[in-house]
């Protein structure tokens, strides 16, 4: 059974010919928000192919390794998988070119997800969409969050969004500090 994803709206496109990535959702995030940067880093650590530099170091210890997102099995599974997410700041050119001005004006200043089909997920629905697409242990979490009535989930989301700047410092730059090999995941 699929997670009961919260309802998404069709994003009015600024120009019908504006191309969207074929298989990856675009996560629009507030470039001035430390929590949003942490969210992007969380997604990057769990999505798409990873290189040998990310593989866990081998040890000569007699203890079996504890499986995590960097275990050898996880590395092997993710080695050939295309990324499911690309990223762009809400203050960037990509969102201005992809979504009509009147729709953009109604977006929250935190996180929104645009699918290749043109569906736009905002607030708690964006979080559920991200967790669902990450799969693995995050899919049951998405199901649990998706079962919460949207008005209640969005109220919790708005509360966190309201206090996030008090809890997380303002980043020095719009894009999170990331390795060079991941820079192509970021759109202007």
Q: Where are the domains of the chain?
A: 25-53+69-179
pLDDT (0 to 100) of residue 135: 92
pLDDT (0 to 100) of residue 6: 45
Return phi, psi of residue 159, to 5°: -65, -50
Percent of the chain past pLDDT 90, that is, above it, reads 38
pLDDT (0 to 100) of residue 23: 85
pLDDT (0 to 100) of residue 60: 40
Long-range (24+ apart) CB contacts under 8 A made by 75-79 are: 75/50, 78/48, 78/49, 78/50, 79/49, 79/50
> What distance in Å separates the CA atoms of residue 151 and residue 73, rounded to the nearest whole number?
39
pTM above 0.85, yes or no: no
pLDDT (0 to 100) of residue 17: 47
Task: List pLDDT tens digits, range 111-169.
Answer: 999 998 889 999 999 999 999 999 999 999 999 999 999 999 999 999 998 888 778 76
At 57, is the pLDDT very low, low, confident or very high (cuts 50, 70, 90)? very low
At 65, is the pLDDT very low, low, confident or very high (cuts 50, 70, 90)? very low
């Amino acid at each position: 059974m699929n997670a009961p994803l919260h309802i998404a709206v069709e994003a009015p496109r600024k120009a019908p010919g504006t191309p969207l990535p074929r298989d990856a959702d675009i996560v629009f995030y507030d470039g001035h928000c430390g929590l949003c940067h942490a969210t992007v880093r969380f997604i990057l650590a769990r999505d798409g192919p990873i290189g040998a530099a990310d593989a866990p170091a081998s040890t000569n210890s007699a203890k079996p390794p504890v499986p995590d997102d960097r275990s050898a099995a996880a590395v092997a599974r993710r080695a050939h998988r295309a990324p499911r997410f690309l990223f762009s700041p809400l203050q960037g050119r990509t969102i201005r070119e992809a979504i009509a001005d009147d729709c953009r004006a109604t977006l929250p200043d935190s996180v929104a997800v645009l699918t290749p089909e043109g569906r736009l997920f905002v607030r708690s629905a964006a979080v559920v969409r991200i967790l669902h697409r990450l799969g693995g242990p995050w899919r049951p979490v998405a199901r649990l969050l998706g079962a919460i009535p949207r008005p209640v989930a969005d109220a919790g989301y708005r509360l966190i969004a309201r206090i996030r700047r008090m809890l997380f410092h303002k980043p020095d730059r719009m894009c999170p500090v990331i390795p060079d090999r991941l820079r192509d995941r970021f759109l202007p």
